Amino acid sequence: MAIVEFSNVTFRYHPEEEPILEDFSFSVERGEFVSIIGQSGCGKSTLFRLLTGLETPQKGEIRINGKPVQKGSHLSSLQPQKDLLFPWFTVWENVALPLSLQRIPKGKQRQAAEAVLAQVGLDPSLAEKYPSALSGGMRQRVAFARTLLDGAQVLLLDEPFSALDCLTRMDLQEWLRDNWLKLEKTILFITHDVEEALFLSQEVAVLQGKKPFSAALMRQVPLPKERSRAHLACEAVEREKLYLMDVLKGGAR
């Protein structure tokens, strides 16, 4: 059964504007890693705003795990476009933020935060530091740790690596895949980088053509679940990459 499901969703930000989605249907199976690509400004982040209940569609229904998404329904864990670490909290307080809102005792929060920091490969000595002391790559790991502690089965990652330098980025891509293989989470991953989408995910969803969208173009990635960067060089992937770039430019249909 699909874990994430948009059924005939129509959404616009302002009544007088052209809708971004019209009769939009889209679904993701449990445990999948799906990348969402599309031109900048086409409405990728808007999908996440709808999935987290920050926005409510004018028509249609969105379900996660069979439950309808509403304001404050908390069925998915969002990692927003910027890392958005709170500068006034230490690293561990940032990570434990979702727990602190569930009124869990401080000692337990701290334990859980340290465990998840270790899980994302950060030294426990960082726990007491302020975010300003961290590099961009470390900040992303902290943000991911916080997303994990939020605890939902569905993770929504909005261009988490786009602000990082190339080497850190490749490092974190591999790290994220390892985590996904271990964690049994469902991941929706927004990116504008076709190669990143192909390397990370099992399936790529393309928001393509003119607004309003009524569906995403779904493409299977021709790679096994266990993969390495070397796989990207094979011919099937190259062909898929060229095809996707073409679609993004609005050429092929």
Partner 1 sequence: MKKNLPACLTAVGFFVLWQVVADCIGAAYILPGPKEILIRLWELREPLFLVHLPATMKVTFLGLAISVVLGLGLAIAMDQCPPLERALYPLIVASQTIPTTALAPLFILWFGYGMGSKVLVTILMTFFPISITVFDGLKGTKREMEELLMTYGAGRWEIFWKCKAPAALPSFFSAMKMAIPLSVIGAAIAEWLGAQEGLGYFSKRMMTQLDGAGVFAPIVLLSVVAMAVVAVLNAVERRLIPWRKEL
The correct pick among 31, 60, 80, 212 for binding partner 1 (CB under 8 A) is 80
Q: Does 201 bind Mg ion (CB under 5 A)?
A: no
Can you spell out the DSSP letters for 51-79? HTTSS--SEEEEEETTEEP-TT---EEEE
Q: Which of 41, 105, 124, 250 binds ligand ADP (CB under 6 A)?
A: 41
In angstroms, give the least distance from the CB of 13 to partner 1.
14
Strand order in the sheet with 67-68: 21-29, 2-11, 59-64, 67-68
Q: Which of 40, 107, 224, 253 binds ligand ADP (CB under 6 A)?
A: 40
Q: Give burial (CB, 10 Å; 0-12/13-18/19+) of 146.
A: buried
- Tokens matching residue 182: 């271990």
Which of Mg ion, ligand ADP, partner 1, none interacts with 46 (beta carbon under 5 to 8 A by kind)? ligand ADP
C-alpha to C-alpha distance for 253 and 250, rounded to whole angstroms: 8
Nearest to 89 by CA among 121, 147, 133: 133
- Of 35, 46, 76, 77, the residue at the interface with ligand ADP (CB under 6 A) is 46
Q: Does 44 bind ligand ADP (CB under 6 A)?
A: yes
Q: Which stretch binds ligand ADP (CB under 6 A): 36-44, 65-73, 83-91, 228-236?
A: 36-44
97 in contact with partner 1 (CB under 8 A): yes
Of 6, 37, 45, 180, which lies in the binding site for Mg ion, with binding defined by CB under 5 A? 45
Q: For residues 147-166, which are near partner 1 according to CB under 8 A?
A: 150
115 and 173 Cβ atoms separated by less than 8 Å: no
Establish if 217 lies at the interface with partner 1 (CB under 8 A): no
13 binds, among Mg ion, ligand ADP, partner 1, none (CB under 5 to 8 A by kind): ligand ADP
* Residue 132 found at the interface with partner 1 (CB under 8 A): yes
Q: How far is CA 190 from CA 59, 80, 81, 85, 162, in A?
A: 24, 10, 9, 19, 10
Is there a contact between 176 and 200 (Cβ–Cβ < 8 Å)? Answer: yes
Rounded to the nearest 10 degrees, how much is the dihedral formed by the CA atoms of 187, 193, 198, 202? Answer: 20
Interaction between residue 56 and partner 1 (CB under 8 A): no
Residues 97, 103 contacting (CB under 8 angstroms): no
Smallest separation (angstroms) from Mg ion to the CB of 158: 6
Residues near Mg ion (CB under 5 A) are 45
Residues near ligand ADP (CB under 6 A) are 13, 20, 38, 40-46
